[in-house]
Each structure stands twice: as C-alpha cells, then as structure tokens.
Structure 1
C-alpha cells in the first residue's frame, strides 16, 4: 500500500514539476536560439530557416514547432494572384482558386512530412484589400475551405492570425488565435514603432475577447525595443491576453512574461585561415567565458554570414586574431555597426580600419618611437599570472580619445607613452603581446587576468552559472578507461593481462561508476591478437558485465591522427613513429564507418550483456574528430568524449592550460572534451616515471581553486596495470578523491550535462526572479555578488550548499526567488553524494547512490527518509546540519518532515 501511495505521489510530483509558459514563441531568423526556446512548449518559425537537426532537437524535448504559412498572399506572382499588397510588395491570392488551394495544401503536406507539429496561418485578412470586383463572400468561403483542409492535415493544431469575421465558422478547426498590434504597431515602410490609439485598442480588445468566448486561446504580438518589452508584456497580460513582444520582423528573440538573460558571446573566426580547434580564443579564453556562465557562439565566416546582433540573446562580441588578413571589410563594418549594441572585446592584432579604430576611441600614431620599450603602467586588477612583462618586439602604437581609459602603457626611449590596452565606452582593446606569454620549457601564462578581462574590462555582468562540475553540491567524480594496453602482459606473477589487473585491483575493488572501452581490432578474432581472442573477449565481457561499468568503444584500430582524417592538417605517414593506426592485418585505409559504427555494433553483439548497450565513443590518438566522425557517433546513438588539453600541474599552474567544456561543429554536433587528461601526459608518454600519474592530484587542486573548473576526472588506460608504480598511482588518485566530498557519476552523465551547457537558458520575470531551463544540468553556481535564493519561495529547487555557492535544481525549469522578506524554516538539501532524480519535502524522493549515500540537510531535525519498503533512516544533528546515511543502491521513498509516520 505504501509503495502504491509513493507511486501516486511521484506521478503527481512530476505533473506539478515544470512551470508552464503559455506564450507561443515566434522567431523568424536563423539559427534557432534553441536554449532560450526551452522555456516554451510551442514555437513558430519560418520553415526554410529551421534545419532537420533542429527539428529533431525540438522533438527530443517535446517542444511543438509550428511552421509559418501564408494563406492569403505570396511573394511569387502566379496564376492565382489578384492584386499587390503595397505594405509588403506581396501578391494577394484568389482564395477560391483550385490552383491556390492545392498550392497551400501541398505546402502543408510538405511541412507535415518534415515533422512540423502545426501551422501558423498568416495573411487571413488579405482578401479584404481586394476591390469590389471580387466577391468578399466567395473569398471567405474559399478561406474556410482551405483552413478546414489544413485542420484535417494537422489535427486542429493551427494558430490563426486574426480572421475575426470568420471566427464563428472556424471554431473547432484551430486551437489558438494571434493578433498583432494591441498597444503598438510596426511600420515596415519606415521601420518604425508607434503606439496604437485608444480607439484601436478598444476595438481589437473586443475582438480578442469575442475569440476567447468562442474557445480560442488568444495571444497578442506587440512590438517594442528590448528594454521596453517586459513592461509591455505585463500590460498585455493584465488585459487578459497571452503576450509576445518582439521586433517588427520577428527576427530578434522576444519577451513574454519572462525576459531572456543574454548569455551568448559572438566570436567570429575563419576556418579557411585556422580551424576553430586551433584558435587561441577557443583554446584559452573560452574556458573562462564558460566559467562565468556565458556561451561562446563561434561564427565561421568562411561558411556563414555574420549574424544580426540581438541584445536579447547576445551579451557581447570577442574578436581575437594574430593575422592582419582576418579583418575583412565585411567584418570591420559588422564590428562598427554593432558598437554600442553589445560590448566588444578586440584582442591581438588590430583591424586595419582607421574608421573602426576611431569609432572605438583609438587612434594610431603616425610615427614609430624608437626602442627599447619598457612597461610604464598596468592596471592592478588586470594583471595575470606572468610576473614579468612580455618581450615587446612590435609595439602597437595607440592613443586614446577622451572616452577611453588606458589599462596598459609602455614607454619608448624618448619617453613617448604608447597605450597597449584600453577600456572604451564600447568595451575593451588589448593588443599582443599582452595576452598570453609562451615560455619554451614552461608552457604558457596569462599576462592579463582572463576573468577581469571579461568582467571589468569588457563589462560582462555576473549571472547565475549553469555548472558542469558539481552534482548535489559536491564535486563530480568520473572515471573512464581507454582501451589501450588491454592486451599488454603485466609485470606480475602469472603474467596476467593488464586488463585483468585493472579489473581485479581497481574496477572490482572500488565498485565506482566507470566507463570502460575496448579497441575492437586489439581483441577480436582475426585481429591483432587473434590467437588469444577468446580469452580477451571473455575478459572484456567480465568487465562489461559488472553493474557499475558502462560500455564504450575506443574505435576499431585506434586512429592516431583524427586531425588528418578531418582534413584539418596533412600528416605524412613517413613522419610518424607508428603509422596512422594500429597494425591490423589487412586494414590499410581507415574507414570512419568501421572505426565508429561497426566497432559499436561489434561490442553490442559480441561483448555486452543483454541489458546493456554501448553508450560512449572515446576518441583515440589526438582525439580531434571532424564533423563526419561526430555525426556517425550521433547516428549510432552514443555520446562522445576525449580530447582537450587540461593537464595543468604545479610546475606551471596556469589557466591557459585548462580547456573549455567542448567544441561545436556543424548541425548541432559537439565534441565534449575529457575534463582532465590521462596518465599518458603525466608519464612522458608512458616512458616513465610510471608513478608520474600521482601528480593528477595537483591538477585536481588547481582546477578547484580559485575556480572549480573541472570535475574530479580519473582518466586512464589499461596499461596503467602493467607495472606496480602505475597501479599505485591510480589507487593514490582514487583514494585522494574518496577522502574528499564528491558525487560519483558515469562519464555519460557528465557528457549529457556538459553538452547541455550549450542548450541551457536563463531568464527573469517581472518579479525579478530568475528562471533556469536545462534538460540535464542540475546545479547553478552562485556568483559572489549574489545572495542565496529563498528555497521556500522558489520552485524546482531542492536546496543550496551551506556556503551558499551552489543551488541544487530538481526540475527541467526552475524559478529562483531571492526575496527574503518572508523567512522560512523549510527543510532543504545542503549537499549529497548522490544523483537526485526526485525531491519533495513531505513527498517522494528518489536518487541513485553508487556508494553509501551521505546527505546533509538544513532545517531537518524532525525529518526522516522512509523507503518504499518501509525502512526508516533518521539523521544525526551536527549544528544546523542534519546528516543522513542510507545504503548503496536506488532509493525510492518519502522525505517525512512532519514528525509522524506516512
């Protein structure tokens, strides 16, 4: 009976979980702002501007996509055209024409086949512009016939744009009605916004209320500049209608009852000059951009036009190059046009455009002062890791207007002051070499502080940060194994395979969630070790059968140079020590299908138990897959991880050696980087010292303070089991983490969270509350500038850490109130070492505990956890915390804080 009650409560909790935004979002531009669209259950788009992959993305998130369809007009003249609409220079159609009716129905059938959920029917009133020679009644009958047909095709999932005169005849054929211009209207002729008259407002309001009485859901689209949209949306809501306030062409992201928090930083680059994966802005600065909660939005100028800058979506522009050729006239004009629209950060080489530089508040000097040069001034808050000034080989000759402030200056031999970095009214400029200094033996260091560069120089405001390092308030722990060394004979009595040593000494011993992979050709029959294949495959099965192990492929033949396979760089096989891949008999040319698709199929058919499938692709070699490889992995239904360059240690604890979360490719493809690299880079490519992997703990500490940039990641190969020093180093690292607060998760869990960073969104409502949307991210980091949220006044939140630095999210959409005018003693979660699936005080709770569960709650002295089997777990009070211990496994139960039995 208790279990049935629990299931009922669980269902009701999930039904209540997600706040619903009733507005339909409209967006007539590209690419789709997918993250921001997750706050809405329905979106209307121009069908030609949405891709197949975006449609699939919407489908995976249960967001209904409605295609715009013009019913009464076309921009193409045809035999059905009767007149021209002078406002838009479009052709008004004859709605009685069989040709036109068939044309509209064919368009609808095509949209249905593409996967659209419904239609937004526009230009329903265009027939009213026709002269008296055309029967109004006939046109109306033709329009009703068209809508009836479309309603059948899309099962009544239609949104009407006006059509007031016909609404009584259209009831039951469409669900929604939209009208534009209740309080404002847009004039396309002169691109202006004006308020409507009171008479027009009264007339339209009466029409809309009539539509509501007829059973239509009614939404108003009005137009305003971004700063005025939320207030106008509130006015529409107060009038009794659902709002959407945007620009006149619906090409910028609008506002409903919530206003988006812009997080995207536009970063132009040119893949014909340098692929994104090798650009400094991606390799170095993106890490801090993401840490601050912003999304690097890379624009490949070789493949797409520079976008319309939308301050509702875009928080800034960053341009960083070491090439004069980067700044084309098109880029210069775009940068100049957007000065003052969003902050701009110009780094490295400067654009050779006097006009743009003058607009920025910078002017080049005409004469070159003689060297040597020495540092003159450096804003203290901008100083980075390097303790000595960089060598000044090529001084950048700058002087500033009165609107700019120098941040770094140098002095020539004749005492001329030359500005090297400046804050302007439009952002900031820092020239080379004052960004990153490279040392032959030590690697690189930031000359300036990348955090203050973005926050103080560029001016990015603090925001709540979708966090990919932390789960339930504790630093995530992931473990994964590349298949290399699986078949190596370990230096132990009995000569076991390294895979057996790792299985018995590490995997079975610790029983932590682990992602393990194999190289197909290394163990299969007919492969490199064909005679031992039966035993090797048996070892693989014994590992994959373990309940805490998830399955991955490390390819068929372990390609070493994915960068060559992707066409990014030519590599001569004669210049390599080991060829392009493992020496597999009869395999001379790499096939991406064999490496990815077929290797996954082999593992699923030959090695995994019935209840498991391969879930990950762990990239091999240089781990720089191109879009085709990423596409094949996605088509196979697996996530992908590996690559990146996070190997920072105490010899040079520089942020410049920490990679971002991942890298985008075409068609919503992402490579997720390994959070921290493997023992190979700590052991001189496994040439020794073999205990070198113990230095991983240095990386853990540097990526924790001053900024938690990465989860605990223990990433290694089977060859760590070859020698005792390697095995001891591995145990040392695991023991180090287990002695500290952590939440163990599978690598696939991290990969989902990491990828969703780029698809998560923030917004604010009229009460100044924050909203957060994400399918997988369950942690928000709180900047030091913020207060902690009021848990009792928030929704979709299970708690906040005792230090007030991490918020625990429990729903796909959460609302966070920072209003503490009403104090509450509601119990809430401070931290735990489990992944929480469901959480409700005096309601159902469920979570996964890979190790004995440890949960700390606040205001929970009277609470107890009751499992679905009736087991009770009371807490131990430690100051304001109450600590609970629950055995390993899946917990389904109830959090009872009423002091009475369920």
Structure 2
C-alpha cells in the first residue's frame, strides 16, 4: 500500500494488494546503473486467481499470490523463477492464515481496501510472519518474495517518534528475512524510507503509476500529474543510481487499449525501468519489456450437442486447424462459468462452434461475448451464434436481421476464394441464415433471392468473423463420415483472429528440418494364431519378421489379459511372455501398456452399466477397475517382461480410445505418458481436412489425452474384414498430411494381429520400406507425446531483439512462413539453423529457451540445414560450429553457408559431399560428440 507524502496523496493508485499479485524476475547479478538498461530482467504482474503459469514463464520471474499457486513446481522452468507475494504492513481477511494471527497484532483498519493494519515493529507480528508465512512458502519451493504494503504504517498515525520506531521495525523485519533465507531474492514495493537501511538485503524496488494510474475513489484511469511524476522519479533515481537497484514501474491503462500499453512499456524501457503495464486489478496479462504473443484460444461449445467433447464438431473439425496455426484450445462449455477476468493478452481470441440458434441462457452468453468484443478480443463464430438473430449482441456486431428466405431462386453474388474449399456452396431455401451486414465488413459469401433480399452467412468483420451453417461443413450424399469443408478453415481462422503470420509457430511434426517418424504397436492379438505352418502366435511372427529386421525406434505394448497368467490364456502364458520379453529386450524397443482387459468403451466400463454387455475382454471373475487396467498392467510388464532399465513409459488407450478424467488421472498417478485416439484417416478417396485430427484433447485440470498422429490398420482393412492388404493406403495418409502442409509426423501404427495374415504382413513390410526410403527423423512415441505436451504450454514473446521461445525442451522446432528470411545466427541464441519445408520455413532450436532474431540474409555464418537426429549441444565458434548430435539411425546432416567448411571429429576429417554452399555428412554412426564444422575466417 502506497501512502504518498506529497500532492500525490490525492491520486489513489491501485497498489500491489495482498490478494492479487504476480511479478517476474530471474537471477541476474547486480549491475551498475549504467548497465541496467542493457540487462534488465523481464517482469510481469498477475493478481488473478487463475494465473496463466505457462505464459508467465516467458518472463524472467513470476511473483504470484501463493494462495492461488500452492505448488510452485507447476511453474518450474530453468530460465524463470516464481516468487510469492507477502504483505508486511497490512493483511486481508481472505488470507489463508489470517485467523492464526496472534492477539494484539492487528492495530487498525484500511477501509478503502477492507484490510487490517499491523505495526511492523511488533515482535509478535515479526515472529508470526517469518514462521507462519515465509517459512511455509519456503518449504513449498518459493525462493523469492515480493514485499508489499511497506508504507501502510503511516495509516496508524502517531508521533514522529512512532513513525521512526515503525520504520526501524520494518527494516529489522527485512533484515531478519534476508538473514534467515539469504538465498531469497526480495522485491520491495516502495519503502523508500527504509531503502538506505535495507538496500543490501533486497534485489529490486517497485513503484506504481509513473505515467498512467488509477483513481480508485473515482473508479477511472488518470494521467499522473507532472509534479507527482517528478517526485516519484527522484525516489526511483535514488534506488537505481545510488543503490544500484533495478526499478520496476507499474502503470495502468484500459484493457482494450493495447497500443497504449505497448507505447507506455516502450517509453519506460527507454528510460531504463523494468516496465509492466496492465489493468488496475492486475488480472490481465499485460505488456512489459517483452510481450507474450498469446497462443491460447477460448473455445466455446455446447455440451448438450454431444455426449462427449471428443465427438463435438468444434473438436473434430477445428483441432487440426488450430494446431496448425500454433493455437492451443481451452474448451469452455457455454452453459458453465465463463471467464470473468480480462482475456486480452492471454488469449488470441474466442472461437465458438454452436449448432443452436438460441441457447437456454442466451442473454448471459450474449452479454459476456459483447464485453469481450468491446475489449478487443477477436471472435470467430462457426455454425450459429447461439443467440437470437435480433439480439443486442448481433446488433452491436454490425448484423441486421432480415426476413427469412423460405422459397424462390437464389444466386451467389459474392464469394471469397476461401469459400467452396472442398465442397461447393449451394444456397437453398430454408437454409440461409436471415442476416445481413450493415457495418464495415468483408462478406465472404453474399446470397441474393429472386425477390432482391440480400443475405450474408459468412464474413470477416472488425471484431473477427463468422461462417454460419450450412456453409461450414456438409456431408456428401450417401457417405458415412463423408464431411467436407465449405471454407478453408486455416485462412478463415488466420484472418478472423487477426493472427500475425510472421510470428513463429511451435511445431510438433518436425525436428532439425526433418519430418518425424515413429512406430507404435497396440498389443491386440498377440496370442492369435498366425496363418502359417505351425500356427505360431502373432507376437512371435511379428518379432521375427518385422521387429528384428527393422531397427526403427518402436513403442511396443501388450495386453496383460492376453499374455499374463491372470488373463485369458494362463496355460500359454509362459511361452507368450517369453516372446514378449524377447521383443522388449530389443535395443530399439520401448515399453508401453495396452491395459489389462482392453476396455472397449472406457466411459461405459467406468460406469459399470448392468445391461448385459461386456465392455472389456471376458476375463473370468474380473470387474473393471481403472487402477488395475493402468497401474496394474504397468506393474505386470515392469515385473515380468521388461529389462530393469526399460520400464514402461507409455499407456496406449484401447477400444474407442476415448479416455475419461478418472482413467487419465490414473496414468498421471502411474507416472506414465498416454496416447491413442484421434481420427486422422485422410486418403485419396476420403480427401478432406475433416479427416485430420488435432494433436489431442484436454480432459480436466492437468489432464491431456494425446492422439495418435494417424490411425492403424484396423481402419484401412474395414475393421479387419478386408482387404487385408489395406494398410498400404496409410502411405496416402502420410503423403496427404505432408503436402500442401506438414500436418502430422509419420506414425507406423498397427496391432500385433497384423502379423497373423500374409496380406497384412506384406502390407506392413511395404509401409516400413516406404518410411525407410524417406528423409525422416526417427523418434520414440514417448518423445512425440512429450512434444505435444510441450506444445500446449510453449510460449512465444516479442522482445526488442526478436522472439523469446520457451518450453520444456522437448519441442525443438518453430515454423515461419515459407517467404520468411533467414535468422540472424549471430544475434540468435540456441538456434542451430533453418530449413525449407512444405509451405513453411522450419527453425531448429537446441534447448527450451531460445531467442530468435531475424534478418540474417546477409550474414554468412554456417548453420545446420537438416539432421535426422537431435542436437544436444551446439556452440558457435570463431572457426565455425561445435556440436553434439544423437539419434537412432545412421546420421545424415547438411550444413548451409558452408562452402569453405570441412567436418572434423576426434581430430580426424570426415568424408563429406559438397553442393554449392552446402556440406552434407553421412555416417553409419548414430551419434557424434564434439563434431566440428571448421570454416575459414
């Protein structure tokens, strides 16, 4: 709480309240004032009770209200630190520890904020706050603290001697805090009076409202008077120039005025401050010396339209386009609570797919949407708006209701090139939404009736855009699942959400320029007799004919109910387990579980429906339990089948592959990853983007089901009814998800029973041969899963130098437009190189914390163009490059800008080929440590 001691007392600012705060800081050494501007940390404040932890990792430190983040490990990132907010001068009754405050400590009230004042010199308060507030936070993992309300003791009044005593007590408390936890970094909000006493104990000084503030009594934004600004600058100059402290300045502007926030942050940066510009409640992801470029979209759906989000149109049809654009959906049911915090800065926009003209609670939803669009949040609408055509919302969006078209002839008078994408637009009476544009907008589709009535069922608008049914997706006549897009969803979403195509997009399909290749096998049919002499088990045939021959990274699973003694074939268990052990012992195989009883429908099995149906294998005496299916089967495999050094890493969903929150939580408890599901089945006869699934689906807090990149042979053989050579057509899927865009990696995904028939085995062999002939980057399925999870929380931020890219280090590629220039490798950090790809330029990262600077077209530095393995270390030297690389296949590397370079390993030259300025290196080795690319200066 700030108590201004001059004319600034008349301007009541929103201070860093105990119940709302977030700040960011990283461990930088102190610098003299002259060097601060060049190396200032990035800092953000977020007070809301739903802090965007993933996005806040873009900054160097996050200070949060610990009542909202009880587990700092959720935030952990090597390049960013989480701090806890603590109020030293007053406390709010909402604090979790408020009732434990000793008697006699509370010394007054601050009615403006509804909080209670304390005397910082009171020994009981000092002991309490150290032992009962800071100590638990330290045990939770916090290693930094933001100290607030340092000026609140002024509100207690008293004599000058009382003020001096309280100031001395406050300084004593800060000394004690630093003495007890000397590793802790401390940020002090104001406290200018005690700064000379405690400057050695703290790291940073903060203050609010240098240029733009908030008048709390009048509830309005204000410009700070020049006199008040100069007084505050004087105090900040002392902190910065006399004591060498970085200074954080927090200013407040309206949520919708993002440009003013950017301008203010830039001005503060130029003046040498650490800026943070946000809203008064500090529950918005504002602008600092970097700005997060939001990748999340709030996706609104109607749960009444589908038994599970997995089957909803918004998930089936938009999962892939959103992922391709680099967006992560946060699904919100329209009939549930809608976010009441500012979305600007945190979300790239709102996307809705509702198939109802008017929802039961349409007024509430419409009012909420209007607030968001008024704040400048882009909105993309598919299907229906969900409110009445004559509603206030649609009027505010520039739409006018017209008389419905019930009969007559219709013709298209306007059609944007993005319409008619996979299926032509055919206007029919009774299907045309009765709406017409009445404001500034770009119609994507204009239809006129024979009576001269004009309709606009699709448009781009100043607030976003809409495409209404039936001009979204339609089914082909007489075809099951034969949907086709009427519009290009990528183009529409890009323009409606006003996405900047120049911004790097995290990519899960590629590493070091090469498309990923993986193999994963569901354990079904392991015990099935193969159609060959002696009728060996399919698992045995697969081992001998495929797995021993093709040494690609392979994720292999079994169903315990097939191989184990507690399953269907106890007499055959010893021989089946012996085969499984052989497979798991292969050096290129990683272990996965495919459950105990292979549930066919996880939701129904979980519900234990008593309707005579069986929802899993008929194992005698068994009733479904999630822990038995997952943890139990994993323990069986680890105990009986896998080498000790190769425990199960992955659980592969069975049956309908629609997980439930309970079953997903069980995989988390078992400490394994999960995958399967999704419906990527595009072929030349079913050539539609509607048949390309997204990367996965969130199923609850901290729960995420990762989809398989494509489907298995069961789909391509018409549910194993034939033709049994049908899996050859998965090559069509691989090709159609590579061009014109690389939507997916290559996944050779099949069941063990594919080895039971000669035709299917031959098809499988042809798929392996195709994959091995392609320039791909082999990885394990578990590595792909980690990339997807990293994608969900990957953060991109604009910096003065370019773009900050932060993730967990599993995802190592960002994508730029094909027309983008080259990175400036001299200014970029942890960027190994770049390569052209389908409709894109791929940029190769070496860690989970990179800086990408562009403009390197005229920089002749050598860089990695392609590699089929992971770069584990890369160092740029005056003489070229030094790197470590590790993979799963004979290495294939190429370097560009390397016309005069040569490779050296173990002080010996390596054979290479040269074409123009490209150097290509091939070796039978799967790894190279300290490889040098030596180039003349």
TM-score normalised by the chain length of structure 1 = 0.91
Structure 2 SS opposite 1:525? coil
- Counterpart pick for 1:107 among 105, 128, 133: 133
CA gap 1:403/1:62 in 2 versus in 1, 3 angstroms: closer
Task: Render the CA deviation track for 1:547-589: whole Å, top value 9, x for unaligned.
Answer: 111111111111110133566xx97754x5xx211121221x2
1:444 aligns with 2:444: no
1:32 aligns with 2:51: yes
Alpha-carbon separation, structure 2, partners of 1:486 and 1:152? 64
Deviation at 1:171, TM superposition (A): 4.2
Alpha-carbon separation, structure 1, partners of 2:683 and 2:579? 35
Alpha-carbon separation, structure 2, partners of 1:287 and 1:857? 32
Structure 1 SS opposite 2:236? helix
List aligned pairs for 1:570-585, cutoff 5 A.
573-574=611-612, 579-585=614-620
List aligned pairs for 1:844-859, cutoff 5 A.
844-859=882-897
Alpha-carbon separation, structure 2, partners of 1:121 and 1:93? 14
List aligned pairs for 1:632-647, cutoff 5 A.
632-647=666-681
Alpha-carbon separation, structure 2, partners of 1:330 and 1:103? 45
Deviation at 1:366, TM superposition (A): 4.6
Residue in 2 that maps onto 1:349: 384
Task: Render the CA deviation track for 1:367-419: whole Å, top value 9, x for unaligned.
Answer: 65435656554323322201362765443211221323432233446453333
1:144 aligns with 2:171: yes
- Counterpart pick for 2:64 among 45, 56, 75: 45
Residue in 1 that maps onto 2:41: 22
CA gap 1:113/1:890 in 2 versus in 1, 3 angstroms: same
List aligned pairs for 1:498-647, cutoff 5 A.
498-565=538-605, 573-574=611-612, 579-587=614-622, 589-647=623-681
**1:186 touches 1:194 (CA, 8 Å); kept in 2?**
yes
Residue in 1 that maps onto 2:91: 74
1:185 aligns with 2:219: no
- Counterpart pick for 1:816 among 834, 837, 852: 852
Residue in 1 that maps onto 2:788: 754
Residue in 1 that maps onto 2:508: 468
Alpha-carbon separation, structure 2, partners of 1:60 and 1:638? 21
Alpha-carbon separation, structure 2, partners of 1:881 and 1:50? 50
1:714 aligns with 2:725: no
Unaligned runs of 5+ in 1: 1-18
Alpha-carbon separation, structure 2, partners of 1:416 and 1:197? 56
Residue in 2 that maps onto 1:455: 494
Mean CA deviation greater in 386-395 or 724-733: 386-395
List aligned pairs for 1:222-261, cutoff 5 A.
222-224=251-253, 225-261=257-293
Task: Render the CA deviation track for 1:493-514: whole Å, top value 9, x for unaligned.
Answer: 2322211221122111110001
CA gap 1:391/1:732 in 2 versus in 1, 3 angstroms: farther
Structure 2 SS opposite 1:801? strand
Deviation at 1:130, TM superposition (A): 2.6
**1:854 touches 1:884 (CA, 8 Å); kept in 2?**
yes
Alpha-carbon separation, structure 1, partners of 2:912 and 2:565? 55
**1:863 touches 1:874 (CA, 8 Å); kept in 2?**
no
**1:118 touches 1:154 (CA, 8 Å); kept in 2?**
no
Task: Render the CA deviation track for 1:230-278: whole Å, top value 9, x for unaligned.
Answer: 4433443444443333332221113332122232222123546644222
Unaligned runs of 5+ in 2: 1-37
Task: Render the CA deviation track for 1:624-665: whole Å, top value 9, x for unaligned.
Answer: 111222222122221111001111111121001111111112
Residue in 2 that maps onto 1:789: 823
Residue in 1 that maps onto 2:15: none
Alpha-carbon separation, structure 1, partners of 2:848 and 2:495? 32
Deviation at 1:303, TM superposition (A): 5.1
Alpha-carbon separation, structure 1, partners of 2:639 and 2:80? 35
List aligned pairs for 1:724-735, cutoff 5 A.
724-735=758-769
1:397 aligns with 2:424: no
Structure 2 SS opposite 1:590? coil
- Counterpart pick for 2:900 among 847, 859, 862: 862
Alpha-carbon separation, structure 2, partners of 1:560 and 1:88? 56
Residue in 2 that maps onto 1:11: none
Residue in 1 that maps onto 2:143: 117
Deviation at 1:99, TM superposition (A): 5.5
1:64 aligns with 2:81: yes
Task: Render the CA deviation track for 1:42-87: whole Å, top value 9, x for unaligned.
Answer: 20112232364xx332136564321212211223399644444355
**2:890 touches 2:925 (CA, 8 Å); kept in 1?**
yes
List aligned pairs for 1:167-186, cutoff 5 A.
167-186=195-214
Residue in 2 that maps onto 1:14: none
**2:425 touches 2:471 (CA, 8 Å); kept in 1?**
no
Alpha-carbon separation, structure 1, partners of 2:619 and 2:599? 11
Deviation at 1:289, TM superposition (A): 1.5
Deviation at 1:761, TM superposition (A): 1.5
- Counterpart pick for 1:90 among 85, 103, 115: 115
CA gap 1:154/1:118 in 2 versus in 1, 3 angstroms: farther
Deviation at 1:152, TM superposition (A): 5.4
CA gap 1:725/1:876 in 2 versus in 1, 3 angstroms: same
CA gap 1:496/1:326 in 2 versus in 1, 3 angstroms: farther
Alpha-carbon separation, structure 2, partners of 1:277 and 1:723? 33
Alpha-carbon separation, structure 1, partners of 2:331 and 2:431? 29
Mean CA deviation greater in 457-466 or 533-542: 457-466
Residue in 1 that maps onto 2:800: 766
Residue in 2 that maps onto 1:311: 344
Alpha-carbon separation, structure 2, partners of 1:397 and 1:208? 60
Alpha-carbon separation, structure 1, partners of 2:774 and 2:473? 34
**1:523 touches 1:537 (CA, 8 Å); kept in 2?**
yes
1:330 aligns with 2:368: no
Task: Render the CA deviation track for 1:840-865: whole Å, top value 9, x for unaligned.
Answer: 34453112232211111112233343
Alpha-carbon separation, structure 1, partners of 2:338 and 2:606? 23
Deviation at 1:214, TM superposition (A): 4.1
CA gap 1:87/1:23 in 2 versus in 1, 3 angstroms: farther
Mean CA deviation greater in 382-391 or 646-655: 382-391
**2:58 touches 2:80 (CA, 8 Å); kept in 1?**
no
CA gap 1:565/1:321 in 2 versus in 1, 3 angstroms: farther
Count of residues in correspondence between the two structures: 871
CA gap 1:392/1:849 in 2 versus in 1, 3 angstroms: farther
Mean CA deviation greater in 473-482 or 374-383: 374-383
1:131 aligns with 2:157: yes
Alpha-carbon separation, structure 1, partners of 2:790 and 2:579? 34
Structure 2 SS opposite 1:112? helix
1:160 aligns with 2:185: no
Residue in 1 that maps onto 2:26: none
Alpha-carbon separation, structure 2, partners of 1:616 and 1:20? 42
**1:743 touches 1:832 (CA, 8 Å); kept in 2?**
yes
Structure 1 SS opposite 2:418? helix
